[in-house]
Amino acid sequence: MDFNNDNSDKKKKIVTLVAVLLILCIVIAVIIFLLLNNDLWNNNDTPSNTPSGTNSDNSLVPTDSSESFPTNTARIPKEINIRYENDVLIFDGLSKECEFTTLFDSSKDYIFSEYRNPGDTKPTSWYEIDNKSVIYFTILLDQYNTYQFDENSIFPDNSLVQKVEIEKNVENMSLDIKLITDRCIAVSDISTTQDSASYSLSEVKNMDFYNYSNVYSRKFFFIPEYQLCKQSDSTVIYYEDNIDDGQNDVYSIRFKANAWSSLKGRNINYELDEEKIYINDGYIEYIEVIKEEIGGVLYYRMSFLFQKELTLYPNANSLFSTLTLCDPNIENLIFIDAGHGGHDPGTESRTDDKFNEADINLGICIKVEQLLLEKGYNVYMTRNEDIYLGFALERGDIANLHNAKLFLSVHVDSYTEESAKGILSIWRDDQDKPFAQVIQKNIVRTSFASDRGLMWQSLAVHGRTECPAVTIESGFITNPTESAKLKTDEYQQRIAQGIADGIIEYINIIDNNE
């Protein structure tokens, strides 16, 4: 059989030409794609091991969303330079957003019946408040944001800030900056450009008003003398709630500058300064106070930019009001209430040292909180400092707003006869009794105290709670033997262990029945 070599060669040449043209088309397409997507390649950051909005221990790190760096611009490697000038913290060479949060450390001492000011004709009582703050900044480092030092510090002269600590966190690939001060300061203004950010700092003017408690659970504002609501009924409020001020994401309230003071028995002019402070703690991004005159009457408008779903709950007593921030989305929350506090010390020992019930209650509850946290439970403390909370029904309202799973209040008993002793658990209705039985059994087991059993009583402290609620009397402060034990950490720990064990046991019972 004969083969046509000419036809075979022609076919080979055609196939080769088609293959070359196909390869050439592919190369041209790749080149065009790269040219069109040059900005994408320049802005492709090296991924961080830390998810956005969190730090290395998975806790919330709030992000400042009020200002943003320009987008759609090519990033080039830059060395970060940190300066502090005229109470402004400046980051040069910064091509991405900087995260920061403000933590407030406040202490309150109740001063009872003393002369507060020169010229006072009669003694008064008040809370002495000492506020301080620390501000933390975090910058994620990558090939586009670098910093040459492992550690560095700035010591400003004549400044709000005594020291700026700078540390490179190699594990998290971040730059951690801490502003140390002996005052209560906050970021008051933010300015950003394409490659820098400036954070203006100022002393918090309304020191009492922004007495912001960074407790594990209850976060609230402390407002001396002012009455935001009726003392016996928090649903009767004396301010305009959730006013429409044209800012969609901002929650605002408005109240008169001149208002009734139960402490002084007359109307007073409450003095607030206009200011805006950034907090960024996962609850509030910023708070702003402005003055408004409406019909010749002076008002204050207080605005919040929340970072999560929150409800404001007011409470008032003769000395102050509070606004508590309630988070309804904490799952399986255990609500712990340390009875009394502040200018309500509860019952008192008959020994010479005269220690009070409020301090014992708080000591036990803090230990319960720690034991439950170690087991991974979510715990809400009504207080973790020596402060009066207001009308007792507040506890039940706040527990309900947080969708609490269990409620427990700790108290200490007293009696005229010194021989009275033992542990008692108080229940309110049928859903409470099984919880009270479990709590009582466990406390008696760990404390080796006398068992006074259970008692039915409808107390104000848990009167409005919707979840199972129990109040315990952890012994008699008027019994010399029990009183001596109750003030020791060792005995408080034994009681706390019984409470924690009882709570865990009852939660397991609930879960098994669901």
Q: What is the pLDDT of residues 199-257, one digit of tens each?
A: 999 999 988 777 776 666 788 888 888 899 998 888 899 999 999 867 778 999 999 99
Q: What is the pLDDT of residues 338-365, one digit of tens each?
A: 999 888 888 888 877 778 999 999 999 9
pLDDT of 62: 44
Mean pLDDT of the chain: 85
The candidate with the shortest Cα–Cα distance to 143, out of 80, 192, 198, 100, is 80
Beta bridge partners of 109: 128
pLDDT of 185: 95
User: 258 in helix, strand or coil?
Assistant: strand
Kindly tell me the burial class for residue 334, based on how many C-beta atoms sit within 10 Å of its own C-beta (0-12, 13-18, 19 or more). buried
pLDDT band at 121 (very low <50, low <70, confident <90, very high): confident
pLDDT of 214: 62
pLDDT band at 146 (very low <50, low <70, confident <90, very high): confident
Phi–psi pair at 411, nearest 5 degrees:
-140, 170
For residue 112, how many other CB atoms are within 10 A of its CB?
A: 10
Q: What is the pLDDT of residues 316-330, one digit of tens each?
A: 888 888 899 999 999
8-state DSSP, 47: P
Give 78-203's CATH code, choosing from 3.30.70, 2.60.40, 3.40.1620, 1.10.357: 2.60.40
Q: Where are the alpha helices (DSSP H) in 37-121?
A: 38-42
State how far the Cα of 80 lies from the Cα of 94, in Å rounded to an integer: 6
State how far the Cα of 285 lies from the Cα of 277, in Å rounded to an integer: 9
CA Rg, the chain, in Å?
A: 31
For residue 375, how many other CB atoms are within 10 A of its CB?
A: 11
Query: Cα 496 to the chain's mean position, in Å?
Result: 24
Sign of CA dihedral 445, 450, 454, 457: negative
Does residue 41 register a pLDDT over 90? Answer: no
Query: Cα 448 to the chain's mean position, in Å?
Result: 37
CA–CA–CA angle 219, 282, 239 (5° rounding): 50
In single-letter form, the type of residue at position 349 comes to S
Query: Cα 486 to the chain's mean position, in Å?
Result: 31
CA–CA–CA angle 273, 278, 279 (5° rounding): 115
Residues contacting residue 176 through CB under 8 Å, at least 6 positions apart: 136, 137, 138, 166, 167, 168, 169
pLDDT of 394: 87
pLDDT of 393: 82
Does residue 115 register a pLDDT over 60? Answer: yes
Contact 289, 302 (CB under 8 A): yes
372 or 38, higher pLDDT? 372
Tokens of 53: 């909005």
Contact 475, 486 (CB under 8 A): yes
Percent of the chain with pLDDT over 70: 87
8-state DSSP, 65: -
The candidate with the shortest Cα–Cα distance to 95, out of 58, 52, 42, 148, is 42
Of 9-23, 148-162, 465-479, least confident by mean pLDDT is 9-23
Average pLDDT over residues 371-392: 89
pLDDT of 11: 66
User: 15 in helix, strand or coil?
Assistant: helix
Q: What is the pLDDT of residues 160-173, one digit of tens each?
A: 999 999 999 989 89
Does residue 27 register a pLDDT over 90? Answer: no
Phi-psi region of 125 (alpha: psi -120 to 50; beta: other; left: phi over 0): beta
Residues contacting residue 357 through CB under 8 Å, at least 6 positions apart: 339, 340, 345, 346, 347, 348, 411, 412, 414, 477
Contact 398, 382 (CB under 8 A): yes
Beta bridge partners of 268: 259
pLDDT band at 50 (very low <50, low <70, confident <90, very high): very low
Q: Where are the beta strands (DSSP E) in 238-308?
A: 251-256, 258-261, 266-269, 275-278, 284-294, 297-306
Domain residue limits, the chain: 78-203, 207-315
Does residue 312 register a pLDDT over 60? Answer: yes
Contact 426, 450 (CB under 8 A): no
8-state DSSP, 46: P
Query: Cα 58 to the chain's mean position, in Å?
Result: 15
Contact 154, 166 (CB under 8 A): yes
Phi-psi region of 340 (alpha: psi -120 to 50; beta: other; left: phi over 0): left
Does residue 484 register a pLDDT over 50? Answer: yes
End-to-end Cα distance, the chain: 88
Contact 470, 454 (CB under 8 A): no
pLDDT of 8: 60
pLDDT of 65: 43
96 or 369, higher pLDDT? 369
Does residue 64 register a pLDDT over 50? Answer: no
pLDDT band at 3 (very low <50, low <70, confident <90, very high): very low
Pairing assessment for the beta strands 423-427 and 469-476 based on DSSP bridges = antiparallel
pLDDT band at 509 (very low <50, low <70, confident <90, very high): very high
Report DSSP letters for 420-464, one per residue.
---EEEEE-STTTHHHHHHHHHHHHHHH---EEEEEE---GGGTT
State how far the Cα of 502 lies from the Cα of 504, in Å rounded to an integer: 5
433 or 117, higher pLDDT? 433
